[in-house]
Amino acid sequence: MERNELYPVFLKVSQLNILIVGGGNVALEKLTFLLKSSPNAQVEMVAIKFREETKVLAVKNKIKLHEAPYHSKFLKNKHIVIATTDNRSVNEQVYHDCRARTILVNVADNPPFCDFYMGGIVTKGHVKIAISTNGKSPTTAKRLRQFFEEFLPENTDDLVKNLNTYRKTLKGDFEEKVTALNEFTKSLIKNKDDLE
């Protein structure tokens, strides 16, 4: 049986330089998704032409737009690149240019040319859940995101803040604190027998 072997991480994209190559619908979708999750993301975009909605979003969020064809010079000082053009050869060139510079790259809708996938994300204050289908089914990730958005109570963030306050009152070493927090939070997870 195949399994998802991706390693999930949560990136501080306000401290990383991101480039989106392309200015069409997919570029707008990726930019919107990125800013929804991380409003202070440091993003630049390069494309021959940008949608009007992208231009409006760029002004509102201080996104630098380069109206030009893609060139590897735009990769300077970038940490992450997302290629979204409708030109396969341009997207693949972006991939190869990034790999040569050890820059993480995602070519939209082309899993073999991705170092990472942009999965579904659910955010409730400080709680963030990322959902991945290993690039196999973005629609499934979307439906799971919608489920968790409805399932997680709005006061989930209050729980996190209260537990953080409680954690600060605990004495002892790291292991003792973990044991105390595990005991305190046991009731959050129902026992399998309770569900039957």
CA-to-CA separations, 22 to 2, 70, 107, 125, 138, in angstroms, rounded: 33, 8, 11, 31, 20
Choice between 131 and 138, residue whose per-residue pLDDT is larger: 131
* Alpha-carbon gap, residue 108 to 124, rounded angstroms: 27
Check whether domain 17-118 has CATH 3.40.50.720, yes or no: yes
Choice between 60 and 126, residue whose per-residue pLDDT is larger: 60
For the ranges 115-124, 128-137, 170-179, the lowest mean pLDDT is seen at 170-179
Asked if 16 and 36 touch (Cβ cutoff 8 Å), the reply is: no
Half-sphere exposure in the Cβ direction for 192 (13 Å, CA): 0
pLDDT band at 189 (very low <50, low <70, confident <90, very high): low
- pTM across the whole model: 0.81
Say which CATH class 119-152 falls into. alpha beta
pLDDT at 40 over 90: yes
Q: Shortest CA distance to 60 belongs to which of 72, 43, 46?
A: 43
What is the average per-residue pLDDT within 142-151? 88
Question: What pLDDT, on a 0 to 100 scale, did the predictor assign at position 190?
Answer: 57
pLDDT band at 128 (very low <50, low <70, confident <90, very high): confident
Half-sphere exposure in the Cβ direction for 80 (13 Å, CA): 20
Q: Where are the domains of the chain?
A: 17-118, 119-152, 156-195
